[in-house]
A and B are shown apart, each in its own frame.
Chain A
Amino acid sequence: LRLYAFDVGAYVRAPLIPNLSGIVDGNLCVVTLAALQVFRHRLSKSLRYFLERHGDIKRSIVSSYHRHIRRRLNARQALRFLEEVRYRKEDEMLYTVLRAMLESPGLRETVGEYLDILLTQLDNTHNVIGILDVLYFLLKEDTFVPSVEHVLNHYLMITFPRCKIGVGADFKESIRNATRQNKGNNDDEEDIATLLSICGLNAGNADGITVVTTDHELEKALKKLQKDAGYCKTVSILLVS
């Protein structure tokens, strides 16, 4: 029996990772409070970045990817395209969570009225730039981040009934000050907060803890923690995509 702990990448992509239920099935799983705090922080930043630079994002896509804009793309294809071309940019997470919600059948009944309008509008739009404009109008609503969290948590609770969400220590302060600018740097405070919260968990009757992540940088951060601080010795990493 293992305890699988999702980092923020695995959390937002859970509905998109095909073999995730196969991995977690029969084991325990957890999303720590710190992972949720990282999620809220990053999605809010992603949102703010998008709204502030909406025009620039459009222009950079128009000038670099002309032929994609002419093609009729449905919302999922368009979001996937945006995820690729905005890789490692602040707004990337926005497209990921929207795709996760669009691609999980059965999720639609749990979204509120606002997200239903948003997702249906995305479904009704067949152009990359059109999608960005739809988002521009609808993402100004301040319920977006909590609504997405509500939907993702609901998905996890239905898919993994033995999953605990929001446990462990509070890292809000250190996460609030974290930036993603030095992402190449192993000292990324968000990663450290996530790892520390997971390492501090009581594994209970599980044999050990495995961090489920989509980010190979997290493995480097964990190794550093183990080597430098002698901490997190029993924790291992599982990279999923």
Chain B
Amino acid sequence: LSISTTPETLLSTSLLGDAASEAEESEEFILEEVEHRLQELARRVILRLKDSYALAPPRNGWDAVRRAEEMIEELIQKEGAQSLENLLKYIDVERYIQEQVSLFAEYVDEMYEAVYSRTDNRGLSELEPALMTLTAVKLLYFVALKDQRALWVAQKAAAILAALRALMKQRRFDIVAQLPQVAQEVLTRYFANINPEDRRRAS
């Protein structure tokens, strides 16, 4: 009998197959769980941020983003960050983030098309800063995704996005109008670190 025809090996290949498909299924399950928990966390961030902004209105865009950043950090530390981290061990985090960022990029494109084809000039001036903030957030996420050293950029992007969502719900367009500048400053700080390399190449 050759090894490929022994019942034992046949049985083991079939067991292998089962184990493999189980692993796939469980990853999908964990991914769903991760997504669910993150969405829940995001919902709570916006909710609390709205309350906080209502209680003491942010002085400006920078203040709004700083408070969003603190709120996110606090919630993540309090609310089961450990269990979330445990779950993340079982999924391909990088691929997951990549997918989310490309979904977000598509969402931003759709927003542009919707806003610029349906909004009149007066409405545009209110919505343009929000759109530009979305573009900036997309840029920041993309930068963080490409550059392992730039985790802080992703954290800033999340805070800017949270602040944008809360402020839009409260129709605080005056402060939303400052968010593109907040994002620009983050980008400038990031490029100030990578540019020496580019400067050498360019000269």
Contacts and interface: CB of A to CB of B under 8 A. Distances in A.
Interface of A: 58, 62, 66, 69-70, 72, 112-115, 117, 120-121, 124-127, 129-130, 133-134, 136-138, 140-141, 143, 146-147, 149-150
29 contacts: A62-B124, A69-B112, A69-B116, A69-B117, A112-B197, A112-B198, A112-B201, A112-B202, A113-B194, A115-B198, A117-B143, A120-B142, A121-B138, A124-B105, A124-B138, A127-B109, A127-B113, A130-B109, A130-B135, A133-B135, A134-B139, A137-B135, A137-B183, A138-B187, A140-B184, A140-B188, A143-B199, A143-B202, A150-B201
Interface string B113-140: 1001100000010001001100110110
A134 B116 contact: no
Looking at A66, A70, A72, A133, which has the most chain B CB atoms within 10 Å of its CB?
A133
B109 A137 contact: no
A137 B187 contact: yes
Contact of A147 (B143, B146, B201): B201
Contacts, number: 87
Interface in B31-82: none
Contacts of B136: 137
A149 B109 contact: no
A58 B132 CA distance: 12
A133 B132 CA distance: 6
B112 A114 contact: no
B191 interface: yes
- Please report whether the interface of chain A is mostly helix, strand, loop or mixed according to DSSP: helix
- Please report whether the interface of chain B is mostly helix, strand, loop or mixed according to DSSP: helix
Contact of B132 (A113, A136, A141): A136
Contact of A143 (B108, B180, B198): B198
B100 interface: no
Contacts of A146: 199, 202-203
A121 B116 contact: no
A134 B108 CA distance: 12
A149 B202 contact: yes
Contacts of B9: none
Nearest to A145: B202
Given A127-B116, A130-B135, 10 more contacts: A69-B113, A69-B117, A124-B142, A125-B135, A133-B131, A133-B132, A137-B139, A140-B184, A143-B202, A146-B202
A72 B197 contact: no
B26 interface: no
A127 B112 contact: yes
